[in-house]
Structure 1
Amino acid sequence: MQTQKDYAGSVYGGLGHLLLAFYNKYQLKPPQKLLDVQPLERFDYVIWHDLLTTLEQQLQRPALGLEIAALVQPKYLGILAYIALSCETLSDALMRYHDYHRLIYDGTPLQISIHNEILSIGWDDIPFNLSSQITDEVAIALLMEFLKSILDIHDIRLHEVHFKRSPPKNTMIYEQYFRAKVRFNQDKAQIQLTVSELSRPLRQGDQTLQELLKQQAEGLLEKLPHATDMDQRLQQAILAGLQKNMFQIEAIARQMNLSVRKLQRYLQQQGKTYQQRMQEIRCMMAQQYLKDSRLSLQEIALLLGYSEQSAFQRAFKHWTAQTPQQWRSNYLASAK
């Protein structure tokens, strides 16, 4: 029986789709438990752990988690993948992965640290009985495939990769995949890379998020009867800032090539403060996101720059006198 102490959070439903894609590729019969989670937005990490363990026992081959992760596509990572596509450097992308990775797995925080010019990214709070070599492999390989396949960085240079379990018979498979020293029997599962890698520019092959931001900005402008060029620039800056978790007035003014004082003076002429304008945009965007039933409340909260779903819910009720779920239910009912 699962105890509260052993509870390790939940995973994004897209990981269930990823695992099913692996079964389909190799013409394996998927277990009923995997089929049961296909329609779910999220499911317990324990189920994910059990599904991977069952597959590992069935196939009994090393580095299976690397094979599974190799099939990842943006749709399996949801909004996280598209947010990252707006980043300009590897550093920005990793910070977004850090900020939003809870959308993929919310059981333990992703830990990032720097020591002697080496950046470490890892997880170490999952109960030992609920982690395994294959769960660690998938977690690390998903991050690698996120960098290689989604951000198009195929020559990422790692320093080392660490796993907590004992080494398998053939460790060369891992070193060939990561192209770095791989160590086993370590304190935590993590990847390490030199700080100098962080400044690498990203090649943008997918402008999905930029187009989404443009559509959002245009939608907001329609609500303003006398929108100016400055209004448009401000709204686009705030929308982009929300995606990158950099939406304080100093960051927005810098993005617009204005001083904070000049931006405040412009807003004062409109009878607004920056905070008021920010909340207006958040409210309008929240309503737009809520119309899309594919977005969970947690995803919407993070897209609006809230670190916790509860904070978003309180703010939305203050704006509209309804909870987000009530507003969505009323909208969907009226749209029928």
Structure 2
Amino acid sequence: MQKSWIRGAVVSMLLGTDGGSVAANTSAPLPAGMPLEAFVAHLEHNRAQTPDGSMSWRTGEEIRLRDIGIAGHATRARNCLGDALRVFARGFPTVQSNSNVCVDVTNDEVHVSYRVLDPRIWPRRADAELTLGLIHGICSRYGVTRDAFLDLSFEHETDSAMRALAHHLGLTPRFGAETNRIILPASVLWNTRRDPARDDDVTAYGKRLDHALVELRNTTPVSQRVCELILTGMDRGMVSQAMVAGEMGMSERSLRRALAQEGQPFHDLLGECRRSVGLAQLVRSRRQFGEIALSLGYSDQTAFSRAFSRWYGMSPRELRKMGSEALKVIT
């Protein structure tokens, strides 16, 4: 599994460094970015050093969309909140790899969720708070008030810092969830900006984002794109070569050929993702072994146990007993 990255002028602003080849120029080639692991670690360090538990969230609220690159420009050009959120989610891969932003409408609610898919990056509390704060800031630009938010959940566990965030938002978050998520009434999707953008700007930035996404796809190894899709579908129990090929708009035969050229068979990539995600779930969650086995796509717990004993020389039960030490010793 290749290293995850993040790019955009916001990286250098938050880290106080050059961020490793970052730029906000929407016409320039996509920069290489910096390791997401280093970025997340820096945010986590800052979170631990400040007595203000709402700092990460408030920093996210204050991020200027133009500082995250073309995805931000295309988002801020939209006149309707629903369009803005969907463009932000679609363009997020140009900002950060091995991550996922989804906008789902269920009945009369809209769920905006965010996850870092890379299981090697942990803890990531500050990153989740920063990104949901950024999404909260987008909603605020379209007149969504704080009392409109119906629910807020994080994948990390609670700590004393969360009291300050709850006070800041007037809403008590839930913790230990499957993803980081904001829930709003679906009616706010029709909210419009007070200063409508010109149609020409909407079209121009939309085209630039399309170009950036095509460029990203063409310059990203097929094996890396496959890993992202495997990680995205892992918890849904929907991972298969046919599913991944369909998501990439390829036949299974074409996918096998492309992966063979990179020396990365699908079976090996699936095993690598299962190994990383499974170890993370064993060590960082309380999920039962059978539940983890099913989420990874194993037919039963026995197959899961055999695979992990083969990979690590220890059973899932022994790995769980080791706790976080397993991550240090094995990875």
Matches within 5 A, 1:73-92: 73-92=64-83
In the alignment, residue 310 of structure 1 is paired with which amino acid?
A: N
In the alignment, residue 138 of structure 1 is paired with which amino acid?
A: L
Contact 1:159 1:181 in 2 (8 A): no
Matched, 1:168 2:159: yes
Q: CA deviation at 1:17?
A: 2.7
In the alignment, residue 9 of structure 2 is paired with which amino acid?
A: G
Supply the RMSD in Å over aligned alpha carbons: 3.2
Taking the aligned partners of 1:195 and 1:307, their CA distance within structure 2 comes to: 33
Partner of 1:37: 20
Matches within 5 A, 1:297-336: 301-302=211-212, 306=214, 309-310=217-218
Give the alignment partner of residue 134 of structure 1, picking from 126, 151, 155.
Answer: 126
In the alignment, residue 173 of structure 1 is paired with which amino acid?
A: A
In the alignment, residue 68 of structure 1 is paired with which amino acid?
A: T
Partner of 2:169: 178
Give the alignment partner of residue 153 of structure 1, picking from 121, 126, 143.
Answer: 143
Q: How high is the sequence identity, in percent, across the aligned residues? A: 12
SS of 1:182's partner is coil
In the alignment, residue 147 of structure 1 is paired with which amino acid?
A: C
Taking the aligned partners of 2:7 and 2:212, their CA distance within structure 1 comes to: 14
In the alignment, residue 162 of structure 1 is paired with which amino acid?
A: S
Contact 1:158 1:191 in 2 (8 A): yes
Matches within 5 A, 1:47-126: 47-59=38-50, 61-124=52-115, 125-126=117-118
Q: CA deviation at 1:82?
A: 2.4
**Structure 1 pair 83/15, CA: closer, same or farther in 2 (3 Å)?**
same
Give the TM-score taking structure 2 as reference length.
0.54
Taking the aligned partners of 2:35 and 2:98, their CA distance within structure 1 comes to: 9
**Structure 1 pair 177/309, CA: closer, same or farther in 2 (3 Å)?**
same
Taking the aligned partners of 1:98 and 1:311, their CA distance within structure 2 comes to: 20
Shift >6 Å, 4+ stretches: none
SS of 1:191's partner is strand
**Structure 1 pair 201/179, CA: closer, same or farther in 2 (3 Å)?**
farther
Using the TM superposition, name which of 85-94 and 152-161 deviates more: 152-161
SS of 2:45's partner is helix
Stretches of structure 1 lacking an aligned partner (at least 5 in a row): 21-29, 214-238, 245-288, 290-298, 313-336
Taking the aligned partners of 2:96 and 2:135, their CA distance within structure 1 comes to: 12
Contact 2:102 2:112 in 1 (8 A): yes
SS of 1:109's partner is strand
Aligned length: 210
Taking the aligned partners of 2:158 and 2:84, their CA distance within structure 1 comes to: 31
Give the alignment partner of residue 190 of structure 1, picking from 181, 201, 205.
Answer: 181
Stretches of structure 2 lacking an aligned partner (at least 5 in a row): 24-30, 221-331
